[in-house]
């Protein structure tokens, strides 16, 4: 069988979840949207369900997948519903629901749901994507209460720049939130991963860690708490072919690499069809037989090439780590001009294998 694999370390996942709780003293919804950022939502939720306060997903399809797998904990729909007809399912499956727009509020008022809902009323405090305008927030809250369809409301907002520790945008968003929620006696939820790790003073009864659960830092720079995270995914494969090239020979599509010296080239069963970023350039770190080396030439669909000149012990069958505990996914992402979030979500074709159950 093709040796490409993603190993998912569920013990590391639990470690990271506990870190989110420990750093905040808050209740934490484990964000498992987009198939747990490529890590497998059902298996990740099962690994956390004994201790998690709840889960968060993007949409009802993702929530129903968790319910079908027997997950009983609260599940929050981070974008709420897309059509009013989802409200019946939301009530039936006891899902929690974000309300981010006035059309959703109206749909709830007009709906026939009789079971009281748990709603997270989202305020636009500066990201300007979704959320109720601060000036409309009090009245939206009162309308929800008056609708008779509500069991509980949590006040929430989302940060646009919490990963930038030296800008004041996050503090400004908190100030807007605090001013507009004044007088509303309800729990609140503000902090995503960068705010859990890097903004200890921000009050948030519920936190919503996503990327940190999977062990990747949301910061571009070193950060003390982020360095306590444990990478969960190891993307691995093996060397399937080795050749010695003299100086001056091209490697791969477009001859993007020309050997500057006699070069030992290893071919790895991994390509962009697996989600490895095609734009990772020559020099992107990779570990072969326990030794750090670099990519050479263009990544192709099913294969990529690595420099084995300084790894003479590497041979056909040698293990390769594309990212994991030795090569950080964030470092590969940075080389390819993207973020760990995206390279995790892009993962496909490779089987996921779980350890640390
Ligand atoms: C995705 C998401 C999160 C998690 O963000 P991370 O940066 O991965 O921690 C939290 N809150 C909302 C509303 C989200 O959409």
Express each pLDDT in 2-40 by its tens digit.
999 999 999 999 999 999 999 999 999 999 999 999 999
d(CA 122, CA 137): 9
Supply the CATH classification number for the domain 233-355: 2.40.37.10
CB atoms within 10 A of CB 200: 11
| pLDDT at residue 111 greater than cutoff 90 | yes
Q: Which of 355, 290, 357, 353 is nearest to 1 (CA)?
A: 353
Catalytic residue chosen out of the listed positions 115, 203, 253, 348: 253
Domain ranges of the chain: 10-214, 233-355
* Cβ neighbourhood burial of 176 (10 Å; 0-12, 13-18, 19+): middle
* Cβ neighbourhood burial of 355 (10 Å; 0-12, 13-18, 19+): exposed
d(CA 223, CA 221): 6
* Mean pLDDT value across residues 209-214: 98
* Mean pLDDT value across residues 173-190: 97
- Say whether 253 is catalytic: yes
Q: Are the folds of 10-214 and 233-355 the same?
A: no
- Model-level pTM greater than 0.95? yes
| pLDDT at residue 113 greater than cutoff 90 | yes
Q: By alpha-carbon position, which residue is closest to atom 1 of ligand 1?
A: 210
Residues 246-300: pLDDT tens digits? 999 999 999 999 999 999 999 999 999 999 999 999 999 999 999 999 999 999 9
Which atom in ligand 1 lies closest to the alpha carbon of residue 158? Answer: 13
* Mean pLDDT value across residues 31-60: 98
pLDDT at 114: 83
Which atom in ligand 1 lies closest to the alpha carbon of residue 196? Answer: 9
Instruction: Give, for ligand 1, the residue of 130, 154, 206, 210 to mutate: max count of ligand atoms closer than 8 Å to Cβ.
Output: 210
Percent of the chain at pLDDT > 90 equals 99
d(CA 242, CA 240): 7
pLDDT at 206: 98
User: In the structure, which protein residues have their CB atom closer than 6 angstroms to any atom of ligand 1?
Assistant: 31, 33, 78, 158, 192-193, 208-211, 218
Which atom in ligand 1 lies closest to the alpha carbon of residue 209? Answer: 9
| Contact (Cβ atoms closer than 8 angstroms) between residue 203 and residue 188 | yes
| pLDDT at residue 203 greater than cutoff 90 | yes
Supply the CATH classification number for the domain 10-214: 3.20.20.10
């Amino acid at each position: 069988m093709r040796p490409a694999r993603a190993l998912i370390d569920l013990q590391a996942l639990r470690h990271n979840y506990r870190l989110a709780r420990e750093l905040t003293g808050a209740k934490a919804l484990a964000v498992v949207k987009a198939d747990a950022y490529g890590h497998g939502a059902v298996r990740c939720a099962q690994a956390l369900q004994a201790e998690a306060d709840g889960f968060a997903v993007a949409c009802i399809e993702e929530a129903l997948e968790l319910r079908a797998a027997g997950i009983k904990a609260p599940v929050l729909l981070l974008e709420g519903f897309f059509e009013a007809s989802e409200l019946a399912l939301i009530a039936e499956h006891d899902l929690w629901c974000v309300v981010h727009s006035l059309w959703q509020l109206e749909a709830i008022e007009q709906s026939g749901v009789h079971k009281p809902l748990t709603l997270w009323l989202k305020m636009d405090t500066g990201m300007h994507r979704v959320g109720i305008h601060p000036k409309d927030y009090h009245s939206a809250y009162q309308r929800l209460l008056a609708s008779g369809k509500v069991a509980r409301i949590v006040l929430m907002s989302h940060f646009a720049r919490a990963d930038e520790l030296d800008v004041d945008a996050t503090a400004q968003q908190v100030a807007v939130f605090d001013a507009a929620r004044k007088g509303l006696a309800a729990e609140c939820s503000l902090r995503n991963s960068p705010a859990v790790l890097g903004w200890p003073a921000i009050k948030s009864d519920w936190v919503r860690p996503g990327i940190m659960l999977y062990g990747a830092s949301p910061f571009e720079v070193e950060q003390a708490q982020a360095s306590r995270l444990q990478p969960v995914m190891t993307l691995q494969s093996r060397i399937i072919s080795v050749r010695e090239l003299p100086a001056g020979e091209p490697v791969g599509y477009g001859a993007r690499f020309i050997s500057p010296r006699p070069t030992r080239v290893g071919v790895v069963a991994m390509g962009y069809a697996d989600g490895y970023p095609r734009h990772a350039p020559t020099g992107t770190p990779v570990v072969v037989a326990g030794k750090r080396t670099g990519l050479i030439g263009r990544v192709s669909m099913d294969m990529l090439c690595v420099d084995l000149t300084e790894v003479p012990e590497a041979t056909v069958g040698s293990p390769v780590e594309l990212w994991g505990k030795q090569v950080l996914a964030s470092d590969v992402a940075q080389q390819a001009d993207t973020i760990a979030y995206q390279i995790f979500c892009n993962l496909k074709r490779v089987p996921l294998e779980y350890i640390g159950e």
